[in-house]
Structure 1
């Protein structure tokens, strides 16, 4: 989509500079820094209300608008982190943005169990439980829009595949930011963008080659790598990815396969952008455009 902006180029090069550091950069790429991340307590903006929900195996946060809440749809957010990183403040900010661009939808973000303590299928089990919790709270499946980035995007696809296999109704839509859908790392972009990706490039010692989540399972199992699954009957998808990320093939492959199987898919590849560049929030033109596109997706899917 167009040419990379000056700000986008500067941020991309800053990320590459930090991740190329021998000590800190390696910890970022392997996910070690993410595992040990300690953050200050997130301050919920006055325009939102956040409820913490404790379940036996994991916890959730329900963010809603104080000013103009919508009661016709709800968002289930599945965070990224390579299945080894727990939820962090960036996803609380994501929840706020989802609420804003959807014009008031509430957002349920789950802090699902992660590896190595809880490998597959723990994350999928928790996603299924959270979806069921929303159903029990009174939401119809078609009123639930599932959003996920990176591993969370792959988990969103796996959730839909599981629900379909169980003959359960699917959510009303999917928003996927750079979904990690092929844990075999077999797509062409894993090689084509090997030297271009500022987050995971120039090393095989990164979390995208980590097997802690997979364990002894076959990485081609569709609930682990949805790239190898079946998309018949899936809800409308919006997939966003960056042109220089190693995981680009995951987005392209999922979009191609889903379209061939009759799913409505919009795939947007942002030129010069890196993995989950939407974390730039409102700081660079590309992330602003991505969030505006998500807002338009909500309008199309909900008809409002």
Structure 2
């Protein structure tokens, strides 16, 4: 699916983001991820809405948050959310909001969000290890793999696919579906859109000193390793995937290329390119027509998984 043009609200927000990130006082810090490393400490405590309950689960190396609907919870499946942040940004309130939206559009599914370890203190494979530990935790709690949906945005979307590569390679059963918002699947930055969208990406464009060129997570490892850049892995046997991406993103190729490869290898893939949209426009929730449609689309995809 591809829309013809962005909404007026979408264009205004896109231009506002571009204006802020082109301000050198804060723009460079936004683009290279410096603010993402600090934002968790500066955010006010998150107030969980009354319709949800939130439990914190302490693991050996990280913690997780388990969000549940208080009324009429949907116990047919569960969502494992892997948050974004370029592997350098930890858990923050935006992802708690995402968890609530996932619960809403899935008719009450619980959402587990690991606050996995991030670089530079914890480079690869820390994030993958923690994502795998979170998946195993759900299995230990009595969930079956066919009841687990993995959802992720940006780095989290790539991590969702990397986790599935790891599960498959190690003889583990895969989840029943993947929801990926602008997944970062090619940390080698080799896709066409890294050039064609260089001038118009409002968040990462017009500089090579941005988060998508950051090597803190990769370290000395091979960026073509499928556990780092899932684009280069084998997708045969993967569950159905929904991929959403904005047409203005430098990461557009990360979605387009991985969707094409997975389809060629027999995977059911729906890729939706939202015209004129920027990286993780879904954070606008219901404020933009595009983000509202994106969440409706996610709900419909989850409904399909429920009925399979």
User: What's the TM-score once normalised by structure 2's chain length?
Assistant: 0.98
Is the partner of 1:146 in helix, strand or coil?
A: strand
Does 2:163 correspond to 1:151? Answer: no
Q: Of 60, 63, 68, which aligns to 1:56?
A: 60
Structure 2 CA distance for aligned equivalents of residues 97 and 161 of structure 1: 27
2:139 alignment counterpart: 135
Is the partner of 2:75 in helix, strand or coil?
A: coil
Structure 2 CA distance for aligned equivalents of residues 232 and 19 of structure 1: 39
1:141, distance to aligned residue in structure 2 (A): 0.3
1:212 alignment counterpart: 216
> What aligned pairs does 1:62-77 form with structure 2 within 5 A after superposition?
62-77=66-81
Does 2:29 correspond to 1:27? Answer: yes
Does 2:126 correspond to 1:106? Answer: no
Structure 2 CA distance for aligned equivalents of residues 288 and 2 of structure 1: 17
1:6 alignment counterpart: 8
> What aligned pairs does 1:219-298 form with structure 2 within 5 A after superposition?
219-298=223-302
Q: Of 199, 202, 215, which aligns to 2:206?
A: 202
1:56, distance to aligned residue in structure 2 (A): 1.3
* Deviation per residue, 1:28-69 (Å, 9 max, x gap): 000101111110000000000000111110000000000110
Specify every segment of 5 or more residues in structure 2 that has no aligned partner in the other structure, as ranges: none
Q: Of 18, 43, 47, which aligns to 1:16?
A: 18
Structure 1 stretches of 4+ with a deviation exceeding 3 A read: none
Structure 2 CA distance for aligned equivalents of residues 45 and 137 of structure 1: 25
Does 2:77 correspond to 1:82? Answer: no
Structure 2 CA distance for aligned equivalents of residues 105 and 289 of structure 1: 20
Structure 2 CA distance for aligned equivalents of residues 219 and 258 of structure 1: 19
Structure 1 CA distance for aligned equivalents of residues 232 and 155 of structure 2: 15
Q: Of 172, 191, 194, which aligns to 1:190?
A: 194
Structure 1 CA distance for aligned equivalents of residues 97 and 59 of structure 2: 22
Structure 2 CA distance for aligned equivalents of residues 300 and 141 of structure 1: 17
Is the partner of 2:57 in helix, strand or coil?
A: strand
1:229, distance to aligned residue in structure 2 (A): 0.5
Number of residue pairs matched by the alignment: 304
Does 2:129 correspond to 1:125? Answer: yes
Q: Of 97, 115, 119, which aligns to 2:101?
A: 97
Is the partner of 2:54 in helix, strand or coil?
A: strand
* Deviation per residue, 1:140-169 (Å, 9 max, x gap): 001000000000000000000000000110
1:115 alignment counterpart: 119
